Amino acid sequence: MLAHGFADPVHDAQGVFRAVMDALARPGTIQPLAPGLAPPAPLTPELAAIALALADADAPLWLDAGLARNPAVADFLRFHTGARITGDPAEAAFALVSDPAACPDLGTFAKGTPAYPDRSATLVLAVSILSDREGWHLAGPGIRGSARLAAAPLPADILSRLARNHAGFPQGIDLILAAPGRVAALPRSTRVQEG
């Protein structure tokens, strides 16, 4: 049987959106996220909530290898969002990554064009650890002075990937880091340095 979607589609979607909006507007802060979903594994409730809140027929989804392996994940997302599931990362508006340590290179996703940098992908990574007390030093718009953020698991060379992404500003990818019950974000405008 298909897992249920939001119990209250209007207000649950609004709550998830506001958490993501606040996370993107204030990089380095961790926003609470209570998805109330039980999607098919390995799709986490947080990834599912963000997809249900933001994806639809105009915003195709890309699934990483782990998510693509279980057809129930695509069925769940297709039914609840109406979004097209694409196999081509360059087409995706949102990329759902259940295994962030094996996240493909950011260059495989759309980063927008110089005239339209908004035509870019947002990566949603299912991390298991998220902390704002240790880890990287963040600076940039949305951050008062500097902020800290630690997230794991992530690829070993994540910092150089993020540096390349930031160097391409205003083009680039935005990252949403979703841990159980919590969400943080690293927009392309954020400079990330080693902690």
d(CA 195, CA 102): 22
Instruction: Using CB under 8 A, pick the residue from 4, 41, 101, 141 that binds other proteins.
Output: 141
Angle (nearest 5°) at CA 130 between 159 and 72: 95
Interface with other proteins by CB under 8 A: which range of 37-45, 64-72, 135-143, 156-164? 135-143
Amino acid sitting at position 191: R
If one asks whether residue 194 binds other proteins (CB under 8 A), the answer comes out as: no
CB atoms within 10 A of CB 35: 24
d(CA 38, CA 40): 7
Contact 28, 184 (CB under 8 A): yes
Site string (11-40) toward other proteins, x via CB under 8 A:
x-xxx-xx-xxx-xxx--------------
If one asks whether residue 188 binds other proteins (CB under 8 A), the answer comes out as: yes
Cα distances (Å, whole numbers) of residue 50 to 46, 133, 153, 159, 161: 6, 24, 19, 24, 23
| Complex with other proteins: residue 51 or 158, whichever CB lies closer | 51
Amino acid sitting at position 61: L
Interface with other proteins by CB under 8 A: which range of 69-77, 96-104, 153-161, 181-189? 181-189
| Complex with other proteins: residue 46 or 174, whichever CB lies closer | 174
The residues that touch other proteins, with contacts defined as CB under 8 A, are: 9-11, 13-15, 17-18, 20-22, 24-26, 53-56, 58-59, 93, 113-118, 120, 122, 140-144, 169-170, 172, 174, 187-189
